Amino acid sequence: MTIEVTVKDNNIEQALRSLKKKMQREGLYKEMKLRKYYEKPSLRKAREKEESIRRVRKQNRRNND
């Protein structure tokens, strides 16, 4: 997975902002935070199950409106 950002008119601040937005959208910050420490497989499965339940509930709320 590669993320490319173009620098226009030597404007590095704008390119950096764009890179941060792309990383946020891809979920890289969350993944880096999770990989900072080892997570036991059983805890990982439990976390993923909770996230899945939360995601389904959020979809259901959006569909009901």
Whole-model pTM: value is 0.63
pLDDT tens-place string over residues 52-64: 999 999 999 999 8
Residue 26 per-residue DSSP state: H
Cβ-Cβ contacts under 8 Å for 39 (sequence gap 6 or more): 47
Q: Domain residues of the chain, as ranges?
A: 12-64
- Measured between alpha carbons, how far is 49 from 52 in angstroms, rounded to an integer? 5
Assign 3 a pLDDT band (cuts: 50, 70, 90): confident
DSSP result, 34-48: HHTS---HHHHHHHH
Residues 27-32: contacts with CB within 8 Å, 24+ apart? none
